[in-house]
Copies of this chain bind each other. A is one copy, B any other.
Amino acid sequence: MVKRKRSKQRDCIRAYLEGRKDHPTAEMVYEAVREEFPSISLGTVYRNLSLLAEDGEIMRLDVGEGQDRFDPNVEKHYHFVCQKCGAVSDLDMPWMKHVDVLADSFAAGKVTGHMAYFYGICDKCAE
């Protein structure tokens, strides 16, 4: 890991994410942080999101919709994606480490983990 010098922009991005449970995209982070730093560039946002993820301060999510999302909760947990509105919410459900053992018995190699998300329709869209 490289030496890191503090920056107001990165602090702001980190602080913004800490308070969220909606897993913002880089674009959403950009729009939000822009209110405090009107001249920040999208490149800087992407760079800092990558640095924070690299340092294990946040987690990068890919729920198969093109844009990556970012989560301040770095604990292993599952997500629920609404197929109608695209909202991504946390699932407070136990991590299934045992499925890695199961998968390992079928794989032509050593299984060390898995990636998963659940999809369906959220309550709000079901109305």
Contacts and interface: CB of A to CB of B under 8 A. Distances in A.
Interface of A: 62, 64, 78, 80, 82-83, 89, 91-93, 96, 99-100, 102-126
A126 B110 contact: yes
Contact of A118 (B92, B103, B119, B122): B103
Contacts of A99: 96, 118
Contact of A109 (B62, B93, B115, B125): B125
Contacts of A112: 83, 119-121
Given A80-B103, A91-B103, A103-B91, A110 B121 contact: yes
A118 B126 contact: no
A101 to B, nearest CB: 11
A109 B127 CA distance: 11
A84 to B, nearest CB: 9
A103 B78 contact: yes
A23 to B, nearest CB: 14
Contacts of A122: 107-109
B111 A118 contact: yes
Contacts of A96: 99
A114 B85 CA distance: 17
